[in-house]
Structure 1
Amino acid sequence: MLLVAVLTNAGHHDARIVAARSDVAGRVEVHEVAADAGTRTMRPKEGGLVIPAGGSHALAPGGDHLMLMDLKEPLLTGSEVTLTVEFDDGSTLPVTAQVRDFAGANEDYEPSAGGPAPHHDHG
């Protein structure tokens, strides 16, 4: 499952999300989609997601996103999923997201070097 959203930081300092977790997934990874030798590769995002002070950061298919992997059970459209995001200062924030149908944007990503196929284990 892919988490898409617009994250807003009303604070006076940049906020960096370095990890996330959810009871519905075996793991949650911070991902990016980047150009790599002429192809687009989905991979873990080094350094996490930065939300600038007084600004926002979009999470979207084909870009930065949180990926819920190894889902423990099917997620029903319309239900809510709770995640906990962790910032680089060790603080955490609960986030609730609604499950929606998404057929995908017909992305065709290459796996990152040495990693699993990009859609492997994704719910």
Structure 2
Amino acid sequence: MGARVALHQARRGAEWNDVQEPFNLLQILQETDGQGPRLVDCLTLWLSNMMLAEMDWEAQVNALALALPELIDPVVLVTNEVGAGIVPENALARRYRDASGLMNQMIAAQADEVYMAVCGLPMKVKPND
């Protein structure tokens, strides 16, 4: 994972201010609001961190969804679609798949635009009205 993070940071360049926060995403977004656009990469990793720490992920996701429209600066949220494949045999993986789907629905409902990448090609799923 460390090598992946380093690769992402190298691709983005020195002008990016990286913040690594495993749990308090909303707090970081609120603290950095007014400083320019933010990129969150990624919500599904945030979700897995909360689930493995046995946190109330639903409350955290709900709080984020409610707060997003109140933020001044744009936020780009990256997530993964994990429910389109085979139903996992493992109970934790099934809970994660279901939680991820719920989280993605809650966040997409608040988003101005939603894109899904298939084979590296972005498809607009929710247009900006």
Q: Is TM-score (shorter-chain normalized) higher than 0.5?
A: no
More helix by share: 2
**Greater relative contact order (Cα < 8 A, sep 6+):** 1
Could you say which TM-score interval applies, normalised by the shorter chain?
under 0.3
Query: TM-score, normalised to structure 2's length?
Result: 0.24
Query: TM-score, normalised to structure 1's length?
Result: 0.24
Q: Based on CA coordinates, which of the two structures has the bigger radius of gyration?
A: 2
